[in-house]
């Protein structure tokens, strides 16, 4: 059964497998990219493997004021995109599981950046006041939507990443 473009039966099956064997809920996410020193255009490129869609090439480029060419989305745009895309998927999946049909669902996101911290000029937070609006057309009540929003906050991997401290382990390998 497909609801909100979510295979509800497959999602339920996945949840049940994780209940019976929590190790089935563990995944490794990998991204490998390269700074494009010898090419014109975007500065960074990565190939992302998908399960059924093959490899996707995504590129980023810093804005002009940061020394880039402005020819592709910048890394912070991808970060916010990833966050709201993950949140939208979480919200839509749990709505589908509860039989709540979304007629349309949009997210508008914005964040304030203070690049003086990135420039080493101040100690100000670089990114703050991240906010988004979810515009939802459904027959379901606001009470249900607010409850789903709380579920999404608890269960969305992207939201977890921005609401908990995660410190990457970084290793440099010199060639």
Q: What CATH number has the domain bearing residue 16?
A: 3.30.300.20
Q: What is the mean pLDDT of the chain?
A: 96
Give a yes or no: residue 152 inside a domain.
yes
Give a yes or no: residue 123 inside a domain.
yes
pLDDT band at 173 (very low <50, low <70, confident <90, very high): very high
Give a yes or no: residue 29 inside a domain.
no
Number of domains in the chain: 1
Give a yes or no: residue 172 inside a domain.
no
Give a yes or no: residue 114 inside a domain.
yes
- Report the alpha-carbon distance of residue 134 to residue 83 in Å, rounded: 13
Check whether 39 has a pLDDT greater than 90.
no
Check whether 38 has a pLDDT greater than 90.
no
Of 137, 146, 155, give the one whose Cα is nearest residue 87: 155
Check whether 90 has a pLDDT greater than 90.
yes
Q: Residue 12's domain spans which residues?
A: 2-22+73-163
pLDDT band at 117 (very low <50, low <70, confident <90, very high): very high
Give a yes or no: residue 134 inside a domain.
yes
Radius of gyration of the CA atoms of the chain, in A: 19
* Reported pTM: 0.93
């Amino acid at each position: 059964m497909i609801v909100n473009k979510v295979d509800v039966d497959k999602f339920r099956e996945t949840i049940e497998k994780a209940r019976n064997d929590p190790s089935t809920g563990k995944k490794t996410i990998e991204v490998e990219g390269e700074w494009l020193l010898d090419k014109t255009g975007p500065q960074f490129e990565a190939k992302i493997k998908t399960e059924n869609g093959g490899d996707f090439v995504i590129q980023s480029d810093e804005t002009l004021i940061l020394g880039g060419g402005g020819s592709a989305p910048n890394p912070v745009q991808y970060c916010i995109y990833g966050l709201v895309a993950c949140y939208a998927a979480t919200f839509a999946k749990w709505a589908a599981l509860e039989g709540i049909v979304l007629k349309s669902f949009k997210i508008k996101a914005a964040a304030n950046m203070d690049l003086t911290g990135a420039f080493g000029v101040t100690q100000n937070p670089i990114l703050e006041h991240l906010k988004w609006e979810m515009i939802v057309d459904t027959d379901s009540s606001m009470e249900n939507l607010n409850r789903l929003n709380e579920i999404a906050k608890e269960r969305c991997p992207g939201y977890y990443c921005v609401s908990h401290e995660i410190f990457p382990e970084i290793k440099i390998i010199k060639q």
